[in-house]
Amino acid sequence: MKTQEILDLYSRCVIGNYTRLPVVIVRAEGSQMWDAEGKRYLDLFPGWGCSLVGHCHPRVVEAIRNQVGRLIHIDNTFYTEEQGRLAEILHDKGFGGQSYFCNSGAEANEAAIKLARRHTPPSRYKIITTEKSFHGRTYGAMSATGQSKTHQGHEPLVPGFVYVPYNDLDAVAKAVTAETAAILVEPIQGEGGVRIPDDNYLPGLRELCDDNGIQLILDEVQTGCGRTGQCFAYQRTSIEPDIMTLAKALGGGTPIGAMVARPDVAASLKPGSHATTYGANPVVVAASIAMFEAIDAEKLLDNANHMSCYILDKARQLQQQFGFIEAVRGRGLMIGIELSLPGAPIVAAALSRGLRINCTQETVLRMLPAMTITPVEVDEAFSILTEALQETESKLVTT
């Protein structure tokens, strides 16, 4: 089918809840993808952060191929070796927690919210979250999200969420009451504009939780699995969470989420208290194990840290060149370029030249490149981005 035919098909048959770019993708590999017209794109935002080891990583492809011929789905009435092995990886790479598997980030956060409430007496049901956070689109996760634009049209929200400014320990301390069950934060805000908190923020939250007997839930859906140059973003600090949520990259490009909890906390999730039919489907679990194997075998954490410096250097050079770049932020392969003007036209100008990036919070250009990205690909991406920025600059001069 031709591109226009597919777009027409969508307008007839697919609900229009996404703002889509008018491009039909037919194939992708590493940090590159191709559309139905044969045009190649460099993808610095592969799968909204899901394709952390690049599109169609060969180890992930092989693991899926091997698994589908043996066992595609089996429900959680039974045990599988695959689920146990993935849980062991998360246990060993993280804080010795036990895993509950689901299918998305929102579901992982739903599980965390339910667990935090179950683990504390009924009078303690409130969860403190932060402004500009993003935790997902289901009712609990959406209500936890501290952005009114995400709530609009869906009120009344699930009660019990209290929002405080991000990176503000005093505000959290003031919000803690005898009714508080948990604090839920992203170690770095992603959708909020790649906001990196001060070094004392997570340790300060840990202390507050310990002093008040409440749970610290870290939403590592966007930051987890190696994105920030550590397996989990909290590992840059000396603290550990009580509960951590994962999704996006966890499946190597297939849909899986996980909630990992300290065993004594996890014990509050008894049979019948929570479940999902597809949780830990063997195919996505095999993909997830292969993704972690790829990161270890190919030393991708080292590459992520190396390429992070390379990309941030290039972004800072752009900041010298273009007055409308206000700030460059990043940790590992989570990069934000804050502008003093809307970013959408720049995203469009880059796409027309064959570069895919994202814009969040209207003015923050965001890149979540694959851990396999190479310097040659970064050079090409930044030369396209420079042209897109020049186009914006020339329009500013003429208006």
The edge-to-edge listing of strands for the beta sheet with 32-35 is 25-29, 32-35, 40-43, 355-356
Q: Report the candidate in 211, 287, 196, 197 with the shortest Cα–Cα distance to residue 250.
A: 287
Stretch that binds ligand PLP, among 100-108, 233-241, 284-292, 363-371 (CB under 6 A): 100-108
In the complex, what is the shortest distance from the CB of residue 151 to ligand PLP, in angstroms, rounded to a whole number? 15
Query: Which residue type does 105 have?
Result: G
Q: Report the candidate in 330, 322, 327 with the shortest Cα–Cα distance to residue 346.
A: 322
Q: Which of 30, 54, 136, 204 binds ligand PLP (CB under 6 A)?
A: 136
Q: Which of 182, 184, 221, 239 binds ligand PLP (CB under 6 A)?
A: 221
By CB under 6 A, tell whether 281 contacts ligand PLP: no
List of residues 6+ apart from 20 with CB closer than 8 A:
10
Q: How far apart are CA 60 and CA 293, in angstroms?
A: 9
Size of residue set near ligand PLP by CB under 6 A: 14
Q: Decide whether 82 or 219 has the Cβ nearer to ligand PLP.
A: 219
Site string for ligand PLP, 222-251 (x = CB under 6 A): x------------------------x----
Q: Which of 43, 82, 110, 219 binds ligand PLP (CB under 6 A)?
A: 219
List of residues 6+ apart from 258 with CB closer than 8 A:
90, 99, 100, 101, 102, 108, 245, 246, 247, 250
By CB under 6 A, tell whether 176 contacts ligand PLP: no
Q: Which of 30, 47, 97, 190 binds ligand PLP (CB under 6 A)?
A: 190
Distance of CA 126 to the CA centre of its chain: 24
By CB under 6 A, tell whether 161 contacts ligand PLP: no
By CB under 6 A, tell whether 360 contacts ligand PLP: no
Structure-token pair, residue 354: 């064959």
Q: Decide whether 133 or 392 has the Cβ nearer to ligand PLP.
A: 133
Distance of CA 31 to the CA centre of its chain: 17
Which parts of this chain interact with ligand PLP (CB under 6 A)?
A: 104-106, 109, 134-136, 186, 190-191, 219, 221-222, 247
